[in-house]
Amino acid sequence: MDVAWKSGSAKILGEFRILTGDVEVEGMRFVWHDFKAADTFDWRALFNEDSLVVCLNLLGSARVPDWKEVPLLQENGLWICSGMGRNCTIERVGGQRHRYFAIEMRAEWLRQMVAAMPGALREPVKAFLAHDRRKPEFAAESMPESLRQLAGQMMNPPVGGTASGMWFRGKLLEALSYSLFEPEGMEFFCERTRRVARERASRVQEILLADIEHPPSLAELGRSVGCSPYYLSRIFRQETGITISQFLRKSRLEEAARLLSSGKANVTEAAMAVGYSSLSHFSKAFAGRFGCCPCVYGLHPE
């Protein structure tokens, strides 16, 4: 049925249908949404803050403002989110048509469902069942073929009337069997993004340490690891806790200290070997890092 409702200041008009369940009474509900929103709005606000939501997204795009490096899939996407309270939003983009099936679950109901089921639960599900509400968990991936076929079946249910609730309850459990557990050999988009970020940061370190005297520029580093210089700077600091320039300076000074303590180079040679053209700049940076001038360090290494 077509209904009008609001999410914050956004007015939404479209179809909202509860296929089965009651989240307040039973601890779960299965809903269908088909609407067009004039303005961008907080989609997560349509659900309870203490619920886990599994969304089979067919049309419409969204974004998580706090996780700008994780764009959401526009269509045919499986989304799982938990812990999305007042401090985190999922913005459905205005001016688009949005169509999806959503399963909303309370922890008690979900725990009973998965208690006797073997298999590795996905990270947002594990965090949800562990009552970890310290931070939101979100995962997104292209919808597996099994769920695409299931969504197609649910668009044209073979039964109607009072029998439809029982039929959709069976489909709800089928959807959860495909979506709650970590599939063999499959990686969520956000998990892949984090892994690639770690690999890029590690690769940058390797490149810099390979030729510490003549390091490539930030733009060259970005091309080497396949991302923009701005994004590379951000994920490097996120993964290592320091900037690329700080890592380079730290690595240069540590290599200079190694050369000095081994007796393989004097102060000038050590400075030149690690890329310092100014002896005064090198001495100042070295003293800031090790608490003494390089000439003293060479005689009495720490």
Read off the pLDDT of residues 236-257 as tens digits, 9 standing for 90 and up. Answer: 998 889 999 999 999 988 888 8
DSSP-derived letter for residue 216 is: P
Q: 253-299 belongs to which CATH class?
A: mainly alpha
Q: What is the pLDDT of residue 83?
A: 62
H/E stretch holding 55 reads strand 52-59
Give burial (CB, 10 Å; 0-12/13-18/19+) of 45: middle
Q: Retrieve residue 218's tokens.
A: 């930030």
What type of residue is 156?
A: N
pLDDT, residue 302, reads: 45
Q: What is the token pair recorded at 263?
A: 């007796």
What pLDDT, in 10s, does the model give residues 266-302? Answer: 888 888 988 888 888 888 888 888 888 888 775 544 4
Residues found in the chain: 302
Q: What is the pLDDT of residue 243?
A: 93
Q: What is the pLDDT of residues 62-92, one digit of tens each?
A: 888 776 555 566 678 888 888 655 567 788 8
Angle between helices 244-262 and 229-240 (to 10 degrees): 60
In the chain, where the domains are located: 2-186, 192-241, 253-299
State the CB neighbour count (10 A cutoff) for residue 84: 24
Which residues, including other chains, have CB under 8 Å from residue 280's CB and lie 6 or more apart? none
Place of tokens 């688009």: 96
**CATH top-level class of 2-186:** mainly beta
CB within 8 Å of 262: residues ≥ 6 apart: none
Give residue 129's pLDDT: 85
Q: In this predicted structure, what is the pLDDT of residue 301?
A: 46
Structure tokens at 163: 């029998």
pLDDT for the residue numbered 24: 92
Question: 10 with 94: CB under 8 angstroms?
Answer: yes
Spatial contact of 292 and 275, defined as CB atoms under 8 Å apart: no
- The segments of the chain whose pLDDT lies below 70 read 1-11, 67-74, 83-87, 116-119, 132-136, 183-192, 298-302
